[in-house]
Structure 1
Amino acid sequence: MDDQGTLTAQALRLVTTRFPDALGAMLGGSAAQGRATEASDLDVAVLLPDSDISRREVVRHEGRLAELFLNTVADIPEFFEWDRARRRGTVLFIYDQGLPLMDPHGELSRVCEQAREVLAAGPPPLTPAEWERGRYGLTCFMDDLVDTPPTNRYEQLSLADFVLREAANLLTAHHGAWTGIGKWLPRRLLSADPARGKALLDGHQTLAERADPAPLATAVEGVLDLLGGPLREGYAHRWRT
């Protein structure tokens, strides 16, 4: 693991060098949690004056990649709502759980409080149509997974990845919890439902290691049972609503 203090200083130099007018900055991700490795990038949220433009940039600073989430103060409420609508809350969590780098005028503290309020409200619930579409999709691809011969590893692994993602999205939504992608999918999943989340992840791992879909299928059935069961015949979806 890389030293957290060193990474914090490096992130602060990045902000002061590239954004001398910044109104605040926060270091998030692995660096803020003490999990960073030599290959980890820096996730940095920067508050800009309203004369600037909100955007996202990836740069290399002092040999390390950095992903920059750049927002003007005026854009923050709209951006937080967009981040909430995705049900992942990526930048919201940076402002809630990150390490402050600079806050010369108190703007960062105010934005962090806004982020905490949005996170406390939770992600938006799925609509009835989204629940049905999710149940149908998960049922359909689970059936395909069980029906795929273990000798066809390309298709089996592709199906298993989709099944895990969809089951995770539905299970976190059932609990009113935030979801995630990449390495954050298992973290959010285990946080939302330790038992069922672990069953899904263990089932996915078993399939990857042994080509056996049964544990994953059983875990998925447990998730579907929470939501009204598998959905096959009777599903309908209008092209226009």
Structure 2
Amino acid sequence: MKKKLNPIEAAQHFIEKYFPNCQGALLAGSVVRGEATETSDLDIVIFDKNFSSSYRESLKEFGWDIEVFVHNLSSYKQFFKSDYERARPSLPRMVSEGMILKDEGVISDIKKEAKELLDQGPKKWSEETIKIKRYFITDVLNDFIGCSNRAEEIFIANTLAELVSEFILRANGKWIGSSKWVIRSLRQYNEEFANNLIEAFDSFYTTGEKNQVTKLVNEVLQPYGGQLFEGFSVGKM
């Protein structure tokens, strides 16, 4: 069986094979952060002026699963803008943390753009948005407290965890994420809060006890006016 190449060597071979004329290339993701596992893939960002638009592709090469994100020298800007608006800085984070594998004088400016966007943080939530989010969290919390069907409770708890995580991060002007990036974003914001959230939901999933979750949700909402149900209205003329 052919030996698996180390990630940097594999990424360099990949670039030489598929994008020999690109102006810039970065290796990003868990292998760069020192967090790689047995199932980690290689995230490679390509900048090539010869492509008319961006695309993403998944391949298997050199013993690795590879996710390649291809951009020309301007198309990445729209992705930066989209990531800013949705508060999930996937591409800016990859570019900012990425290890330079090839550079013909373009990477420095793009990395600078990415860092400035990350440092700026996401678009601030309006008071109206906070009000709407409080209402939806209150509604799900009430469903959670009142539910006695174990199967339904689990899925309600999942939704509540996502809503509360989004709320605490966005209300405090922080980036959010999905999947593993939810807890990573929470830890970057506040390690103690992240641990408390994990403990509360883990306790519920293990024992069915809801008090810790209910207490945590109320503590999150309290600085913004607490739970909201009575008097809430959207679109009333």
With normalisation by structure 2, the TM-score equals 0.92
1:108 corresponds in structure 2 to: 107
User: Are the equivalent residues in 1 in contact too, given 2:47–2:70 (CA < 8 A)?
Assistant: yes
Tell me how far apart the structure 2 counterparts of residues 50 and 236 of structure 1 sit (CA, whole Å): 51
The offset of 1:41, in angstroms, is: 1.4
Counterpart residue identity of residue 148, structure 1: C
The offset of 1:60, in angstroms, is: 1.8
Question: Cα–Cα, structure 1 residues 236 and 119, in superposed 2: closer, same or farther, change >3 Å?
Answer: same
1:232 is aligned to 2:229 = yes
2:194 corresponds in structure 1 to: 197
1:37 corresponds in structure 2 to: 37
Q: Which moved more, 1:126-135 or 1:164-173?
A: 126-135
Tell me how far apart the structure 2 counterparts of residues 50 and 129 of structure 1 sit (CA, whole Å): 44
Tell me how far apart the structure 2 counterparts of residues 217 and 148 of structure 1 sit (CA, whole Å): 13
With normalisation by structure 1, the TM-score equals 0.90
Tell me how far apart the structure 1 counterparts of residues 76 and 19 of structure 2 sit (CA, whole Å): 17
Question: Cα–Cα, structure 1 residues 25 and 222, in superposed 2: closer, same or farther, change >3 Å?
Answer: same
Alignment of structure 1 residues 85-234 onto 2, 5 Å:
85-103=85-103, 105-149=104-148, 152-234=149-231
Secondary structure at 2:6's aligned position in 1? helix
1:67-104 deviation per Cα after TM superposition (whole angstroms, max 9, x unaligned)? 2222111122222111111111011111111222211x
The gaps in structure 2 that reach 5 residues or longer are none
1:153-191 deviation per Cα after TM superposition (whole angstroms, max 9, x unaligned)? 221111111111111111111221111111110110121
2:80 corresponds in structure 1 to: 80
Tell me how far apart the structure 1 counterparts of residues 49 and 108 of structure 2 sit (CA, whole Å): 15
Secondary structure at 1:177's aligned position in 2? coil
Tell me how far apart the structure 1 counterparts of residues 164 and 233 of structure 2 sit (CA, whole Å): 20
Counterpart residue identity of residue 53, structure 1: S
Q: Report how many residues are paired.
A: 233
Tell me how large the CA RMSD over aligned residues is.
Answer: 1.8
Secondary structure at 1:68's aligned position in 2? strand
The offset of 1:202, in angstroms, is: 1.4
The gaps in structure 1 that reach 5 residues or longer are none
1:7 is aligned to 2:4 = no
1:26 corresponds in structure 2 to: 26
Tell me how far apart the structure 1 counterparts of residues 150 and 67 of structure 2 sit (CA, whole Å): 34
User: Are the equivalent residues in 1 in contact too, given 2:133–2:167 (CA < 8 A)?
Assistant: yes
Question: Cα–Cα, structure 1 residues 76 and 70, in superposed 2: closer, same or farther, change >3 Å?
Answer: same
Tell me how far apart the structure 2 counterparts of residues 236 and 58 of structure 1 sit (CA, whole Å): 45
Q: Which moved more, 1:74-83 or 1:181-190?
A: 74-83
Tell me how far apart the structure 2 counterparts of residues 95 and 31 of structure 1 sit (CA, whole Å): 14
User: Are the equivalent residues in 2 in contact too, given 1:207–1:213 (CA < 8 A)?
Assistant: yes
1:122-167 deviation per Cα after TM superposition (whole angstroms, max 9, x unaligned)? 1111233321221111111111111112xx2221111111111111
The offset of 1:239, in angstroms, is: 8.5
Tell me how far apart the structure 2 counterparts of residues 239 and 191 of structure 1 sit (CA, whole Å): 39
User: Are the equivalent residues in 2 in contact too, given 1:172–1:193 (CA < 8 A)?
Assistant: no
The offset of 1:50, in angstroms, is: 4.9
Which stretches of structure 1, 4 residues or longer, exceed 4 Å deviation after superposition?
Answer: none
Counterpart residue identity of residue 109, structure 2: R
Question: Cα–Cα, structure 1 residues 230 and 80, in superposed 2: closer, same or farther, change >3 Å?
Answer: same
